[in-house]
Amino acid sequence: MSGTPSVRDVVIVGAGPAGLTAAVYAGRALLSPLVIEKAIPGGQLNETDLIDNWPGTGEAVSAQGLMVQLREQAERLGADIVQDEVVRVEPGTSTHRVVISQGTIEARTVIVCPGSRPKELSAEGAARWKGRGVSYCATCDGYFFRDRRIVEVGAGDSGLMEALFLTRFAARVSIVVRHPQEDPRAIRASASLRRRAEEHPKIEFLWNRDVEEVVGDKFVTSVRLRHLGSGVIEEMPADAVFVNIGRIPQTDFLRGSVDLDGGYVVTDERLRTSVVGIFAAGDARRGAHRYSQAIVAAGEGAMAALEAENYLSHELVSIP
């Protein structure tokens, strides 16, 4: 990054689908974007195996491979990508200060795309056995449970996709659902995913139940389930518990900087936050988190970059 300007036109926080797409669009606009990512570029897609709903790919593609291509495209178009953690954003007037662990960066515009992290299971024993049978990443840990009995907690799109992925390895995947089978809210996934899960010979649904406790002896050995209708506790053998019950926005560094709602960044329809010159995109933005889809995040990243470009062109023309 030697020779780069002391004030950046665009600083992008986060290198998931939203942040990298924003970098592609900002790069094409010759804004020399700087992308700051505290982990591995790719965001949540680093925890996903295959994507079969990315437009134009035909067959299912590697999620990690797709993100590598997106990163390379952003860099080819002039983006700098650095690994560091953003501590806070200090709003200004013509510029804003992005404070990272190694210093401070001045930016005319900031696009925040920090994404979210998994919501952890609150059942007794879940924290104790995390990493020893309790997992929040099927693509990371599924391979270790070949021919084993797996419990999946989560009945949304991500939960069912994870359960279907785990059937590659597991002898049996039991999906815990907190509602009766006849409840229309029971499965919060698309009809096609539900049909695939219901028809899969390795998958069973445990209706109207909640995980009361995860039991182990060096590793997970069973789960205790409470039937929400009768209150009866039943214990079933299990070698692993995979959890997919939602996400928590990674926006602590924005508290006191921009308006948040339940941790999610509040924006208008043009992805502008409460601070002029700061934009937001992706799963950490209020509204977008309902979808949690890579293509939605990528689209928002493009929109945010276009808005930042428009802002720089029309509202900051007097700034050298």
**Residues taking part in catalysis:** 137, 140-141
- Token pair of 10 as six digits: 């665009």
DSSP-assigned letter for residue 266 = P
Residues 241-274 as b or e (16 or more Cβ within 10 Å = b): bbbbbebbbbbebbeebbebeebbbbbeeebbbe
Cα–Cα dist 120/280, whole Å? 25
DSSP-assigned letter for residue 145 = G
DSSP-assigned letter for residue 91 = -
Cα–Cα dist 132/38, whole Å? 26
Helix axes 63-76, 17-28, angle to 10 degrees: 30
Owner of token pair 């929109």: 303
Cα–Cα nearest to 107, from 233, 256, 279, 258 = 279
Cβ-based neighbours of 240, under 8 Å, separated by 6 or more: 133, 134, 135, 141, 144, 145, 148, 149, 150, 151, 220
Cα–Cα nearest to 113, from 41, 11, 16 = 16
Question: How big is the CA angle at 251 (ends 263 and 114), to the nearest 5 degrees?
Answer: 125
Neighbours of 28 (CB within 10 A): 14
